[in-house]
A and B are shown apart, each in its own frame.
Chain A
Amino acid sequence: MFEAVSALQGASFNAGIAEVRELGLRGMITLRGDLTDKKLIKAVKGIAGRIPEPRTVALKDDDGAAWMSPDELLLMVPHADVLSTIETLNASLKGTHFLAANVSDARAVFEVFGPHAREVMAKLAPVDFSPDAFKMGMFRRSRLAQVPAAFWMNEEDAFTVVCFRSVAEYMFDLLSIAAQAGSEVDAL
């Protein structure tokens, strides 16, 4: 049996205005279906504690659920629990029209933190990152430079970024360059 590794095996950059690191393996499940379905709501509550409102993320310890689109959630669980969680979902949603797919190894997860984290993100995404506009609990899918990404704030000045694994190195380089020393903009 081989051992699962994340795309960049925990690479980090901390010589700039914000620290960037790859967060390693995280279990991720794409759940598509009718988000108003009672069975589905119950199943998601069992994992993330609650069902996230549109454009928000619901986090509970290491687990969470993020609102991806009107018919899609991204469920986050520890990497080792993915298969059992999917089995639970399949059992509890039997008979409803849904899809639960393991996308853990198709994703890379990064954290950008430090007092200038907002600036680093604002350099790369066409999104308003001012403290009045982008707040804790919000979840946004957009692009960072040339690749699609989703992000939210774990705490003030700490962003989690999720992207496709195939562009993990690009994403890491991108965030590191946007965070390089002396590149403060002080615009936010």
Chain B
Amino acid sequence: MLILECPCCGVSGEETEFHAGGEAHLKRHSVGSTDDQFEEYLFMRENPHGVHFERWRHNNGCGKWFHAARCTTTLEVFGTYCAQTYEPPKEIKDAISARRPGWSWRNFS
């Protein structure tokens, strides 16, 4: 069971109060993109054993989307942050580095 803190309303709730929305930080390739880029956007997903970044929605609460950094192996949540960003903020990366030195995920590390 994950315990997430919604960065929008500040409520700390357990998993069933939220809804998972898939991988975070996807580039939404569309008009003008190549077939390869579009395929990448549609189908190619990370399936890591460890650090992962996901979108979540506080659907039984404020209804807002946010991002969460967590470990898929231990279900440890490193932190949650605003969805209006292209990459995880420094404090989230630092929190992960403290727990999982040398981690990397797509272009982030």
Contact = CB atoms under 8 A, between A and B. Distances in A.
A143 B16 contact: yes
Nearest to B12: A128
Contacts of A69: 8-9, 61-64
B16 A54 contact: no
Nearest to B16: A126
A68 interface: yes
B60 A54 contact: no
A141 B8 contact: no
A70 B9 contact: yes
A55 B9 CA distance: 7
B9 A142 contact: no
Interface of B is mostly: loop
B26 interface: no
B60 A142 contact: yes
A78 interface: no
B11 interface: yes
B64 A141 contact: no
A72 B8 CA distance: 12
A126 B10 contact: no
A129 to B, nearest CB: 13
Interface of B: 8-11, 13-14, 16-17, 59-64
Given A72-B62, A143-B16, 10 more contacts: A55-B9, A69-B9, A70-B8, A70-B9, A70-B62, A70-B64, A126-B16, A126-B17, A127-B13, A141-B9
8 contacts: A55-B9, A69-B63, A70-B64, A126-B13, A141-B9, A141-B61, A141-B62, A142-B17
